[in-house]
Structure 1
Amino acid sequence: MGRHSLPHQSGAGTADPRPRPRRRTVALATALVVTVAAGAAAAVNGGLFAIGSSCRDSAVHITVAASPDVAPALKALADHARERDITSDGRCIDVTVTARESYQVAQSLGSGKRAGFQAWVPDSDVWVDGVTTRSGALQVTKAGNVASSPVGVAMVPSAATSLGWPAKTYTWAELADASMRDDRFRLGAADPARSATGLLALTRLSGTADGTEGGGIRAAALAKTLSPRTSDSDSQVLDTLPRDASGAERSDPRRNQALFLSEQSALVHNSSSGRGLGLDLFYPKDGSPRLDYPFALVDRPRLSTDESRAALRFMTLSGEPEGRRILQRSGFRTDDDEVSGALVAKAGGRAPQPFDRAATEPLPEKAVEEALGTWTITVQSARITAVVDASASMSQPVPGTGRTRMDVTKAALLQALATFTTEDEIGLWKFSTRLDGDRDYRVLVPTQRLGDREGGNAQRARLAGAFNALKPVPNGATGLYDTTLAAYKAATSGYAKGRFNALVLLTDGVNEDPGSISRAALVSRLRQLADPRHPVPLIAIAVGPDADKAEVEEIAKATGGSGQEVSDPSQIHSVILRAIVRAAARSQG
């Protein structure tokens, strides 16, 4: 995935200040009616069609790719449109709905491949936003939302009862603590890299760790605990629940007792015969993120006017009475101001569970990327070498902090170190000019497993000590180019299969070594060294006002990586995590 943001948290809770999807859709529908009316009048005046003729003779054919959970409802809506001869500009709309996993569509659109469909309804904005910011992706234009469904924690009755459901309410952090504290409370999820449900829940859980003592370690530990119990999709994770109430089923360590699940998925599970135990649903009291089912036009410049209008007309049907009834029967919310008690009950919810409370604040866009970045390096394990600028300019103060650039950089690196597990391989170089004879760089800690011990001292402790010992070199200049080439050669030669491999370079200046390789020669050599079969993206971070973002972008892109810019070194940790997500998306595309 590329860039990610939390789906619009358009829940029923009054604390959510944003416009609600239904109101946005209604507003757009009003504008559309005016547009359609004007277009229809022009078509009649121009003799493009005759009033009274059968609209089926010239129907506009539209294909919609939809998330598997909402696809059946949209198919029923398409049938309704055909049966009632619903028209757009006087022509019938003939809509075909195909079920496609949202992450698969996002990967395809993000790579620029022709879509084969005119509209897309994923389960969350995270997928649309990920596509819209990918260079070379097909254009995806959001037009509204067709439904919503909050994400909670669904449990088999025995687990729910042990936690006091429904009378006792929990925050996301408390539910996470319960899953890590008690082996009998086995929490599963759909893979956050493939499921918006899993990703939004993980983001809420990771967010609760931010700002707390040991928060980074706690978030990584949670991801590590969750990772063995993930499934590829929301439908597959339901198959990990016990099928009956027998003691053998409940005690089977392979079976999950609880899942991150949307309200709609819980309702479908509870309503289906042969799916095993019914589920009780916890709605965390600090708010539930929403799946928000955006409706997006795909590759709009290539769509004809008729196709665009027909697709939008189909979207507005979801806001009309029959469309809302169809969606509600399938377990979706269509009006967050009026939450159906019957729907909540079928999904396994019951008062005093706060089923009408949305997340109190929309989670920042960067929070979703950071959670996914933590997930990527925790689940896949990482091999990362950090290369840190130690030139004299790193002694410059960071305004408003009372600390130098190096001080703040060290703190950010120590924060990042806390998010890695013992299985991750991390190393450290520093560079300036002529640090080791004619070399502009020095290897401080070779890249090894954080759990490895040498002389009784674990790699994590060695790195922490080396980070703390970093100091600017008096009168030292920035030997950027030679260092980058040497470090990238080492990173590619040490490629570890099955891990996320990357080189992270931090600099606060431009290359100042007149005897070094040129930038053009460096970029050429990096392109030769980069191997798509064994990707090692360079994540180059320009720190402070003296660094050149364009320079680090050009250098990093030669490896499939990215150049980033931060004005405050304390942002480094977040930037690294977000860059990891983007690098992983490029390797998938």
Structure 2
Amino acid sequence: MSAGHHARDRESTSRRPLVIGLVVLAAVLAALITREAVSSDEAAACTSRPEATIVAAPGLAPALKDVAAAMTEEGRCSRITVKAQESSTVFAQLLATDEDSPTLWVPDSDVWVDQLAAEGIETEVLAAALASSPIVLAGGPSTTAPSNWFAALSSGRVVMADPQADSASAMALVAPRAERETSGVSDAEVQARLVPLAQHYGERASAQQPVAERLAAVSSTTKQMVPVSEQVWLEARRANRRVHAVVPQTGTFLQRYPLLGVSAGTDAGDSPAVAEFLDYLSRPQGALVLADHDLRDKTGAALPGGVGIGYVSELARPSAAEIRADLRMWDVLTVPSSLLAVVDASGSMDFKAGANTRMQLAMSAAGTALQAFPDNARVGLWLFSIDLGDGTDHRELVPLRRLDKSVGSDTQRDTLRSWLGKALDLTGGGTGLYDTTLAAFRSAQKDYDPDYFNAVVLLSDGANDDPGSMRQADLLKALRDEADPERPVRIIAIGISEDADMKSLEKIAEATNGGAYEARDPRDILEVISKALLAR
């Protein structure tokens, strides 16, 4: 069955005529008799019994135990012991140079090889794959195949586990990068998509359901989809017939299980037990044992008997550096944001930018950004122009609070949305940039929260033209002198239109280890904010 279609399961087997069944039975009996004779001879011929202990991911360990048992039954000389352990646990042991770290390890993805290399831990790849399983999107009966992974992740329906611990989610995270040529999605769009996805995950991380529980709870009305391996989906479907699986039309990754030698100074690659084990897995009987556990062989060929998702088009894996970058970015972005938005309300913001004014477009973009942030984000709003406030160049419209915090009968999000409309009537005067910047920086420091990424988002369309304000040099000195490594606050400066004083904004941002970005069109503000968060 081609990728992008619903899958079948074990019920798709057919009945065979009785006569064929009798012939097969006779053949099986003959094979068993022959095997018993051969096994007895081989066992008697063993002059030694090489041993090896393999630590394997829980999804593969039962199959490998059965392979080891089958080898013993056939009279193979080697004795293989298989222990199950989560890949993330073994990875942590290896990082800590734990004395209990395994010598032979089969993680649930070859992504772990790159992760170890990034940490300076050398591994010996004894087999690129012992088994494989394609990544699918599991959901309710109405689940349909998205056109590509980018569309799936942009839909708001994909529920991710932690990609740092769950290989299926890690592969789903990097899949949009692998399909760029066919999807037509740019690298910048792929990166921008990470921002809301990671931040919404960060909001729910402490309350995340285990994948097995989430699949068990799938109902006829479930709209969400979970990235899992074909093997995990088939296991879940036996208990819950409503769980269906699809693959995006662009294809998917194969989750490969490599065999690694991971302890320095060992000669695992020369082990006779390992060689015999790999030999058995490469034979048809090895593939049958894997299939009995809903696992494909190392080639990724479809499971026999019409079981599973069928044929899949395999995506080319991104480079190790790209995968590491995406996983690191995910780690950074799951930390919630605390943003004090400080928006230029000088008279020039009433200048036309197409059919609307700069201020109208800026407030519209701010509204779109507001929708993208999760409830645990903290957002406040200031406007600034000369003498806008009571003796100051700024006016606080909404103080910094969580978006889900109650403000009267509304939430902080509702209050901000309301003020974005009212702000259109508050423009006028000159640009009081310098005094406002320092005041906002100090305010963000006062409201600093160590559990958040704390920043001032400064939007301006012009140079400072307040004759009574502090000098730029004094502002930069104050920002550097008052910076507190224990309470870091960065300034994200966004210049709106070609009139923006980008040189000044760059100096201001640099003084706080922040960043300056240019948005010639105010409608680009959302993309610029995404870039700024990605760069943190």
Coarse TM-score class (shorter-chain normalised): 0.5 to 0.7
Aligned to 2:282: 320
Tell whether 2:161 aligns with 1:191.
yes
Tell whether 2:116 aligns with 1:116.
no
2:235 alignment partner, SS class: helix
**Post-superposition shift, 1:101?**
2.9
1:446 alignment partner, SS class: strand
1:385 alignment partner, SS class: strand
Distance 2:438 2:48 in 1: 66
Q: 1:286 is aligned with what amino acid? A: Q
Tell whether 2:235 aligns with 1:268.
yes
1:293 alignment partner, SS class: strand
**Post-superposition shift, 1:293?**
3.1
Please list, as runs of the form range in 1=range in 2, the aligned pairs for 1:13-52 lying within 5 A after superposition.
Answer: none
Q: 2:161 is aligned with what amino acid? A: D
Match of 2:313 among 354, 358, 367: 358
**Post-superposition shift, 1:291?**
5.0
Tell whether 2:415 aligns with 1:459.
yes
**Are the aligned partners of 1:411 and 1:570 in contact in 2 as well (CA < 8 Å)?**
no
Match of 1:237 among 199, 214, 218: 214
**Post-superposition shift, 1:265?**
1.8
**Post-superposition shift, 1:487?**
2.0
CA shift in 2, pair 1:365/1:552, >3 Å: farther
**Post-superposition shift, 1:288?**
5.0
With 308-317 and 260-269 compared, the bigger mean Cα shift is at: 308-317
TM-score norm. by structure 1 comes to: 0.50
CA shift in 2, pair 1:279/1:455, >3 Å: closer
CA shift in 2, pair 1:475/1:376, >3 Å: closer
Q: 1:197 is aligned with what amino acid? A: A
Tell whether 2:474 aligns with 1:490.
no
Aligned to 2:354: none
TM-score norm. by structure 2 comes to: 0.54
Aligned to 2:146: 171
Number of residue equivalences: 437
Aligned to 1:446: 399
**Post-superposition shift, 1:485?**
6.0
Distance 1:128 1:369 in 2: 14
Tell whether 2:246 aligns with 1:283.
yes
Match of 2:378 among 398, 412, 425: 425
Q: 1:139 is aligned with what amino acid? A: I
**Post-superposition shift, 1:417?**
2.6
Aligned to 1:41: none
CA shift in 2, pair 1:440/1:69, >3 Å: farther
Distance 2:205 2:84 in 1: 27
Unaligned runs of 5+ in 1: 1-10, 15-51, 87-93, 182-186, 243-249, 350-354, 396-404, 530-536, 557-562, 581-589
Q: 2:62 is aligned with what amino acid? A: P
Q: 2:373 is aligned with what amino acid? A: F
Q: 1:526 is aligned with what amino acid? A: P
Report Cα offsets for 1:216-242 as digits up to 9, x if no partner: 8xx879979x96998643334344368
**Post-superposition shift, 1:69?**
0.9
Report Cα offsets for 1:370-412 as digits up to 9, x if no partner: 99689957xxxx562246697x9xx9xxxxxxxxx99999887
CA shift in 2, pair 1:475/1:293, >3 Å: same
CA shift in 2, pair 1:540/1:474, >3 Å: closer
Aligned to 2:302: 339
CA shift in 2, pair 1:503/1:138, >3 Å: same
Distance 2:129 2:532 in 1: 32
Report Cα offsets for 1:451-474 as digits up to 9, x if no partner: 655798933415755999999986
Root mean square deviation, CA, Å: 6.7
Tell whether 2:460 aligns with 1:501.
no
CA shift in 2, pair 1:306/1:482, >3 Å: farther
Identity across the alignment (%) = 20
Give the number of the structure whose alpha-carbon radius of gyration is greater.
2
**Post-superposition shift, 1:75?**
3.8
Please list, as runs of the form range in 1=range in 2, the aligned pairs for 1:192-271 lying within 5 A after superposition.
Answer: 192=162, 194-198=165-169, 232-240=209-217, 261-269=228-236
